[in-house]
Amino acid sequence: MSKTRILIADDHQMFRTGIVNLLKKETDFEIAGEAKQGDEAIKLAANLHPDVILMDIDLPVLDGIEASVRIIEEYPEAKILVLTSFESEDYILRMLKAGAKGYILKDAPFDELVLAILTISKGSSYFAKEVSATLMARLERSSVATVPEDDTLWKCITTRELEILQFVVEGLTNKEIANKLFISPRTVETHRRNLIQKLKVKNTAGLVRYYLEHYNNSPAFPQTGKSS
C-alpha cells in the first residue's frame, strides 16, 4: 500500500519541524517536501505532485490563498488542507473559493490532523468543528431564498438536493446527512452525485466552492427550512 505523500507549506521553522517529526511517525505518511513561502509551495507542488498539501495562510511572498489559487490552476487535482491559526469567516470562505478541500486549526489535536489528511487523501472534504460552525452560522443568517434568475444550473436543483448541498457545505458526512434526513447513506450519495453532475463540478469540494462563489457576496443564502 502506497504512502500518502505530504507537502507542508508554513513559514515558521519550529512549527514546520514539529509537524514533520510527528507525521514521520505515522507509517502511512511520507513527507514529500517543505516550503517556507507561497511561491516555493507552488513550485514544489508542480514538481513533487504530493497527495496532500498542508497550507498555512500567512506566508511571505505569496500568501496561502494566492498560492492555493495558482496551485489549483496548474494542478487541478491537488488536495489542499488549510492548517492555520486563522478562523475568521472571511479566511475560511476565501480558502474554500481558492480550492482548498479542508480547513483545520493549528491548535487541533494531532489525531484530528491525521484524520483530516487521511480523509482528504481519499477524495473527501474535512472541516474542523469550529470551521463547520462558522459555515453553518453563515448559512443560517438569513431565511430568504435568493437564487439568481440567470443561473440556469440552479433551476434544475430539487429542494431535497439543495437541502443536502447545504449539509455538504457544513461538512457533514453522508451518514450524518442520512441520519438528519431519515434516509439511507446510499440515497445521500446518489443525490451528491446528481449535484456534481448538475452543477458541472468534479467533486464534493467543487460543490462547496460553487455554492460559496454564488452566495458569498449575496445578502442571503438559499434556505430550505432544514433543522440542524
pLDDT tens-place values along the chain, 228 residues long: 689 999 999 999 999 999 999 999 999 999 999 999 999 999 999 999 999 999 999 999 999 999 999 999 888 889 999 999 998 888 998 898 888 999 999 999 999 999 999 999 998 889 998 888 887 777 665 433 444 444 556 667 777 888 888 888 888 888 999 998 888 888 888 888 889 888 888 888 888 888 877 654 443 334 444 443
**What is the reported pTM?**
0.68
Domains in the chain: ranges and CATH: 4-128 (3.40.50.2300), 141-215 (1.10.10.10)
- Copy the grid coordinates of residue 134: 462558522
Q: What element of type H or E holds 166?
A: helix 159-169
Q: What element of type H or E holds 98?
A: helix 89-98
Q: Decide if 71 contacts 45 (C-beta within 8 A).
A: yes
Query: CA torsion, points 210, 77, 164, 89, in degrees to nearest 10?
Result: -60
Q: Decide if 148 contacts 214 (C-beta within 8 A).
A: yes
In the chain, the amino acid numbered 55 is M
Residues 6+ away with beta carbon under 8 Å from 78: 45, 50, 53, 71, 72, 99
| DSSP type of residue 213 | H
| Burial of residue 200, with CB atoms counted within 10 A of its CB: 0-12 exposed, 13-18 middle, 19 or more buried | exposed
